[in-house]
Structure 1
């Protein structure tokens, strides 16, 4: 996949802490950011797919006669 540059502005403190994390992981700040953004995008796609499946299941359940078959009077002795 083709890669493009992206400019991000961060506080100096965040950059310093990110350098430490990148060093510990043997990677670059750029790679850390790329991994996190990819993770976030994947997570959002999974959420949307699950939401779509849930909505489809609810639509299907509603059309299969899930309506009530009792009357209020059947539940209570008067």
Structure 2
């Protein structure tokens, strides 16, 4: 279901929007509707990527190998 909204825009901007809309074969309303849709879709993709990245971080990463104790990590003699 579509709903109308009211938007206050400078007259100069409206003129430029009409030119762009005409070049694209649409109306100013259609032009704005498309831009708003792209904004929402981009935000949804970002939120999905963010949720996935946070889930990966929470799960942790297996880098293989064995874990070392603090003493083994700081053993200076083994580095020589």
- The normalised TM-score by structure 1 is 0.82
Aligned to 1:73: 74
Write out aligned runs for 1:1-78 (5 A): 2-61=1-60, 69-71=68-70, 72-74=73-75, 76-77=76-77
Residue 45 of structure 1: how far off its partner (Å):
0.4
The answer for unaligned runs of 5 or more in structure 1 is none
Deviation track 1:36-70 (CA, whole Å, cap 9, x = no partner) reads 000000000000000000000000016x698x524
Q: CA RMSD in A?
A: 2.2
Give 1 or 2 for the bigger CA radius of gyration. Answer: 2
